[in-house]
Homo-oligomer: A and B are copies of this chain.
């Protein structure tokens, strides 16, 4: 019988930025007791996942081993870390541990999905720990762009692992705890086997800037503005929302929070005592009663989300408020790659209204929540682990981060989703490859990314759709002519006749000539009708549509 081992297995987040899900296990091979760190979502896009609501890691591997799972630990309340907890709770059914602010938001999600709120348990900051099977897990405060982020200290019989969570090195994060080098040095003192570390900003060469550096610039900008001021940022960046609100207050403006996520976050921060002294806010209705130069809106939708407050304000009226010539709109945010078009659409709509836009091309009004390259080096040095395992990054980030670790004289390894590492030796060793993937929340149903559902949607979007209906009588002879219904296809093609008529004519010609053998064979008939429909469409409109053939038999 083999001896115990310590394993690490990313199911999501190692190979993309989003849908984080990291498994740790300790025990005899195949019998390890397991914990899961984070269970987040990624967001769909029209190119790859049209119609999908949310994406998360395929946790089949974990579900099949649910009896070995002790608990879920959530490092912080960003959607890519906590967003799937409630959606997957039914399948895992273990306690969820988090700090107060994160737990507050996680409970709201559990309630929405009809799960018991008390499955989410609040943990105090280190040195408090939670025992989960062979693991002892502590939440060490670490600065990030949301309150109460934690790096996890995971003690195992094989030694200590530090899971950084998302972090930056910020000595003055405005809200929440500063990065505390002495605390981390203390954690590291007894020796750390592995540092599993955020890789997001490994390509950013300069040291990261503090959240607190933005205050003066934002205050100046808002102070000089003439009309209404609107600022958008990530709702979860409570510190930024506070900085913005205070800038408004200093400029003699009344502050309005717009967007459900914005109000929810501030509410959670106040409820959990994370946020004190937030400026008084007024309602949109009250804002309509005061001069626009005395109003500041802080709104959701920094990524151009079509239904968020910013997009609605850019299009027209929102909750009785409307932007006008001379107003100022500030993006206190970074556009995440892939969202550029949506953000630019808003900027142009604002431009049409005569609103001046300050966007993210300057670095004056936004700082990142992630550690830049020199900050990563600093954490490596501070924790001084035997090995560095980059996580929270696309392949390019993980690879660069592993190189950085190696350059610092530490073992670094690129472990992508599904790659199980044995952390027991001096360097990480691949123990297994596990099948992983993506689960789509699609309406109210969870489907696999490779189930073919989304593939068919993409095909209909690219090619259009034809329904061909044929009725056959008791003798398997065509009863009347076939007919077609088109969706997403041009009405006429090269022959200038209606495409539907040309299709029906060609299909009818075929049916009239078809032999008994074909007419009696559903599969054969369907295949031929599809082939002809596609071929006719190709010659008429230069494209082969998706075809649904419906054959009805009277017998």
Whether B351 contacts A51 by the Cβ 8 Å rule is no
Q: Is A442 an interface residue (CB 8 A)?
A: yes
A-B pairs, 7 with minimum CB distance: A444-B542, A443-B542, A443-B543, A461-B461, A457-B488, A50-B461, A337-B340
Additional pairs, 13, CB under 8 Å, beyond known A45-B47, A457-B487, A465-B487 = A46-B50, A50-B458, A50-B462, A337-B341, A344-B394, A351-B396, A352-B395, A357-B396, A465-B465, A469-B552, A479-B554, A550-B550, A552-B552
Q: Is A411 an interface residue (CB 8 A)?
A: no
Q: In chain A between 429 and 459, which residues have their CB closer than 8 angstroms to a CB of chain B?
A: 442-445, 447, 451, 453-454, 456-458
Contacts of A50 in B (CB 8 A): 46, 458, 461-462
CB distance from A93 to the nearest CB of B (A): 19
The distance in angstroms between the C-alpha atoms of A469 and B470, with both chains bound, is: 11
Whether B337 contacts A490 by the Cβ 8 Å rule is no
Whether A550 contacts B469 by the Cβ 8 Å rule is yes
Q: Is A288 an interface residue (CB 8 A)?
A: no
CB distance from A81 to the nearest CB of B (A): 21
Q: Is A225 an interface residue (CB 8 A)?
A: no
Interface residues in chain A, defined as those with a beta carbon under 8 Å from any beta carbon in chain B? 15, 45-47, 50-51, 203, 337-338, 340-341, 344, 347-348, 350-352, 357, 361, 394-396, 399, 442-445, 447, 451, 453-454, 456-458, 460-465, 467, 469, 471, 479-480, 483, 485, 487-494, 541-543, 546, 548, 550, 552, 554
Residue of B nearest to A49 (CB): B461
CB distance from A399 to the nearest CB of B (A): 5
Would A456 and B488 be within 8 Å (CB), given that A50-B461, A550-B469 are in contact?
Answer: yes
Residue of B nearest to A471 (CB): B552
Partner among B460, B480, B552 whose Cβ is within 8 Å of the Cβ of A460? B460
Contacts of A550 in B (CB 8 A): 467, 469, 483, 485, 550
Whether B464 contacts A457 by the Cβ 8 Å rule is yes
CB distance from A202 to the nearest CB of B (A): 12
Partner among B351, B399, B554 whose Cβ is within 8 Å of the Cβ of A399? B351
Most buried by B among A344, A443, A469, A542: A443
The distance in angstroms between the C-alpha atoms of A442 and B544, with both chains bound, is: 11
Whether B445 contacts A542 by the Cβ 8 Å rule is yes
Contacts of A444 in B (CB 8 A): 493-494, 541-543
Contacts of A491 in B (CB 8 A): 451
Whether B341 contacts A488 by the Cβ 8 Å rule is no
Whether B357 contacts A487 by the Cβ 8 Å rule is no
Contacts of A15 in B (CB 8 A): 348
CB distance from A305 to the nearest CB of B (A): 13
